[in-house]
């Protein structure tokens, strides 16, 4: 069931989203060669708790951390560990929090030091995929229009879209209806309505779309790089609002 949020609920989700943006911006700024993903996780958890919020990932279906740290060919859900990040890697940082009972979810992929032009392009196109999808987050369009725009952007750049995982509705729970795939047919699916809140999160592979999944572990089957970009988005009567970005 898709829940539409009222003005009061939206205000709370906006506060959660803006706080998450503050947190993840600081965590992204801490990325550097030699830093461990565990240090990034501890920073995220500290900042979330200091602000009076709760990390939503920690303990979620047994997930061991407040931050997902997905290096290079890891698509999503990477566990923070004690390995220092290496110059030239890319790392997906996915974080979520609960403030006053309401959730926010966002992800960025960050370059570690100097990276190859190819890796940089993948990171940039993945972000672009999100914004191409966002352009269809308006009344009058359907979910398939959003999904299709993301897919087209990835394919036009010569990349592929992860099919095994997708975005989702979000609200009191981290994962609500509807599912938001990163591929699909324009003109199909649920009609977008004001008050819908969606976590839109392209996961884009440099090589093939196939992934190997083993529990939380998700990697590209061909070992190619993968990038991830996510925001929590509100559908309004006009332009969509990115709840997880302070303007
Ligand atoms: Mg996320
Ligand atoms: Mg998500």
Mean pLDDT by 10 residues, the chain (247 residues): 97 98 98 98 98 98 98 98 98 98 98 98 98 98 98 98 98 98 98 98 98 97 98 98 95
What separation in Å is there between the alpha carbon of 161 and the centre of ligand 2? 16
pLDDT for 165: 98
Which residue do the tokens 């559908």 mark? Answer: 235
What separation in Å is there between the alpha carbon of 27 and the centre of ligand 2? 18
Cross-strand partners of 55:
97
What separation in Å is there between the alpha carbon of 106 and the centre of ligand 1? 5
Judged by its nearest atom, the ligand closest to the C-alpha of residue 93 is 1
pLDDT for 201: 98
What separation in Å is there between the alpha carbon of 96 and the centre of ligand 1? 6
Q: Which helix (H) or strand (E) holds 121?
A: helix 117-134
Residue 199 burial (C-beta neighbours within 10 Å; 0-12, 13-18, 19+)? buried
pLDDT for 124: 98
What separation in Å is there between the alpha carbon of 157 and the centre of ligand 1? 23
pLDDT for 247: 80
Rg (CA), the chain: 17
What separation in Å is there between the alpha carbon of 129 and the centre of ligand 1? 16
The pTM (predicted TM-score) of the whole model is: 0.98
Judged by its nearest atom, the ligand closest to the C-alpha of residue 76 is 1
pLDDT for 200: 98
Map residue 41 onto helix, strand or coil: helix
What separation in Å is there between the alpha carbon of 239 and the centre of ligand 1? 23
| Residue 126 main-chain phi, psi, to 5 deg | -65, -40
pLDDT for 157: 98
What separation in Å is there between the alpha carbon of 11 and the centre of ligand 1? 20
What separation in Å is there between the alpha carbon of 189 and the centre of ligand 2? 19
Which residue do the tokens 């920073």 mark? Answer: 43
């Amino acid at each position: 069931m898709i829940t539409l949020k009222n003005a009061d609920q939206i205000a709370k989700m906006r506060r959660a989203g803006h706080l998450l943006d503050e947190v993840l911006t600081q965590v992204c700024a801490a990325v550097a060669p030699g830093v461990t993903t565990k240090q990034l996780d501890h920073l995220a958890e500290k900042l979330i708790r200091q602000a009076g919020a709760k990390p939503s990932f920690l303990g979620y279906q047994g997930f061991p951390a407040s931050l997902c740290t997905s290096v290079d060919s890891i698509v999503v859900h990477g566990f923070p560990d004690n390995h220092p990040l290496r110059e030239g890697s890319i790392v997906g940082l996915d974080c979520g929090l609960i403030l006053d009972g309401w959730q926010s979810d966002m992800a960025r992929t960050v370059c570690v030091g100097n990276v190859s032009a190819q890796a940089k392009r993948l990171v940039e196109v993945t972000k672009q995929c999100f914004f191409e999808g966002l352009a269809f987050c308006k009344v009058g369009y359907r979910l398939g229009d959003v999904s299709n725009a993301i897919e087209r952007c990835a394919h036009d750049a010569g990349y592929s879209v992860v099919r095994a995982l997708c975005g989702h509705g979000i609200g009191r729970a981290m994962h609500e209806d509807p599912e938001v795939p990163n591929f699909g047919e324009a003109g199909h699916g649920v009609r977008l309505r004001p008050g819908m809140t969606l976590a839109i999160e392209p996961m884009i592979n440099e090589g093939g779309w196939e992934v190997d999944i083993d529990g939380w572990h998700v990697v590209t089957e061909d070992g190619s790089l993968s990038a991830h970009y996510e925001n929590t988005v509100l559908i309004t009567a006009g332009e969509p609002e990115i709840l997880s970005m302070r303007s």
